[in-house]
Amino acid sequence: MLVAAFVAAVLTLLSIRAHQMLPHADRLPMQFSLTGHAGWSAPRMVALAFLPALAFVTMLGVGFIPAQQGLREAQGISAVSFILGHLFYLWLLRRHLR
């Protein structure tokens, strides 16, 4: 449960910083094609809160699974993946909104 809280806190701080730094837009893209074009969009707060909420729920759910060999490694890989994924999404947003 501590890992879930840590990941959620890091992602939330990244989203808060992005909210302050990104150019103002009421809606932000939620999906990008391989060519970098934006697909559908969501309200700004929903877009920035989506991945932190998804990560928290996912990591919290994994935390209730009885400890098994390799679970800690899987949690670590998941945590790093969520953080890197969010950083990539924020980079795409910044590039798109220029």
What would the pLDDT profile of 18-77 be if each residue is shown by its tens digit?
A: 999 988 889 999 988 888 778 889 999 999 999 999 999 998 887 777 666 667 788 888
3-state helix, strand, coil in the chain (%, to 5): 70, 10, 25
Per-residue pLDDT at 12 exceeds 80:
yes
Other CB atoms within 10 Å distance of the CB of residue 75: 18
Residue written as token pair 């924020």: 90
Contact 29, 94 (CB under 8 A): no
pLDDT recorded at residue 70? 66
